[in-house]
Amino acid sequence: MTTPTEKEVLQEANVAPVEVVEAAPSAPVETPAKEEPARERRGALRGRARGRSRPPRERGEFEQVTIDARRVARVMAGGRRFNFSLAVVIGDKKGRVGVGLGKAADTALAIDKATRDAKRHLITVARTTTGSIPHEVSAKYASSIVEIIPSRGRGLVAGSSVRTVLDLAGVTDVVTKILTRSKNKLTIARATVEALKKLRST
């Protein structure tokens, strides 16, 4: 006697055979990547910023030199408040020169103001073909007196802010004298500019 198969037994019991469905292979589960520490990210960004080449800064028409910088304090209700006063000389070394004064709560802003003031007060110096001055001049500003004397072959013989003004104006082969006890570089520079204004080309 043959034993009935499992299929026949299920058919007699009116039960549908169970189909075995193979499950599809599941996709690999991605583990979340470790977040990069903030310090390392900042370091990488800094490294990229260092490697980046900046375009060269264009040189302006004028060269500028700060001859005097002072910090001025005012006593207010909440305490002392500080301002900065800067004197700047600008020039192109081709005969144009100017002296300016700027005051602000920040040094960068004070320099900008002084440079704009110097550009407003530019003068053109009458020079000879050798870069000297045509004749002797002297001028007084406040308590400062400055004399400028042409001297062939001597170069630029000057001190204090007189040298800065004459150098940026492109003047050479001169000897200068400061006939004052004042140490105020701004008044000495302005006395030099007043002397240069008196020059007349021959």
pLDDT at 83: 92
Residue 122: strand, helix, or coil: coil
Q: Tell if the pTM clears 0.85, that is, is over it.
A: no
Structure confidence by residue, pLDDT tens digits, 123-163 = 999 988 888 999 999 999 998 999 999 988 889 999 889 99
Q: What is the DSSP string of 144-180?
A: EEEEEEE-TT--EE--HHHHHHHHHHT--SEEEEE--
All domains of the chain, ordered by start, with CATH?
63-123 (3.30.160.20), 126-197 (3.30.230.10)
Q: Three-state SS string across 11-77, please?
A: HHCCCCCCCCCCCCCCCCCCCCCCCCCHHHHHHHHHHHHHHCCCCCCCCCCCEEEEEEEEEEEEEEC
**Cβ proximity of 170 and 163 under 8 Å:** no
Q: What is the mean pLDDT of residues 38-67?
A: 63
